[in-house]
Amino acid sequence: MSHTTPPYPSAPDGHEPPEGNRRPQSVERAMGDYAKRAGLRRDDHGQLDVLHAVGGWRGLLEAILPGLIFLVVFLLTQQLAIALIASLATALLFAVARLAQRQSLMQSIAGLIGVAVCALFARVGGQALDYYVPGFFVNIAWLIGLSISAAVGWPLLGVFYGYVRGEGMDWRKDRQRRGAYQRATLLLIGMFAARLLVQVPLFFAENVAALGVARLVMGVPLYALVLWLGWLLTRPIPSRG
């Protein structure tokens, strides 16, 4: 990235750094690489490119349409098999389109696998409600992982945003910066908790329509909003004088 300073410079004398220095740099590099693969970057104005983080407009459609198609088709037909086929076909169509255009298949394949797992749960369970069960496990996993990262003083948004801003891991040496990233990570934790608090009762109430709408609204759109708010919350305060 041309607008950031690499957070893991090589040794100036051409020799390998001591073992004590090499380990933090390797962790930092790994986290930076993961953030890059996740699509986290800054736009031309230096702000977080939220749209790119969710895969652009195309990635947004790939994340939303299969679930939307499943919900609409099921509510119109009340036929689980037809709804599952329509959802899988939508996800497969996105993957085939990317393959035909020789684009990266990572997001499409991941989406296709996710839809297939949801379809499998619904097929085995025999109810449309079961389509949404895997999402609960995903949210629980992220909730636990983020909570652990905050508890041990390595808030995950700090690790990722530190890479995007070119801070590396230096933010951990600043109490204010560390606190800001901690709060931003807590905001993301709150999002996953809110999903469960809203959607699990709808599942047990067997309200497919409300659960489907909640899953769509609280999915990628809410995630993008929280990423943006987290970025604003952690903006460095300009030094005076």
Domain regions of the chain by residue span:
50-233
SS3 at position 48: strand
Contact 81, 119 (CB under 8 A): no
How far from each other are the two terminal CA atoms of the chain, in whole angstroms? 29
pLDDT digits (tens, 9 = 90+) for 89-109: 999 998 888 888 877 777 778
Q: What is the pLDDT of residue 29?
A: 64
**Does the CA dihedral 219-222-228-233 come out positive or negative?**
negative
Distance between CA 129 and CA 174 in Å, rounded? 47
Distance between CA 102 and CA 95 in Å, rounded? 10
pLDDT digits (tens, 9 = 90+) for 159-169: 889 888 888 88
Please state the pTM of the whole predicted model: 0.80
Predicted confidence (pLDDT) at residue 4 exceeds the cutoff of 50:
no
**Does the CA dihedral 174-178-181-187 come out positive or negative?**
negative
Predicted confidence (pLDDT) at residue 214 exceeds the cutoff of 90:
yes
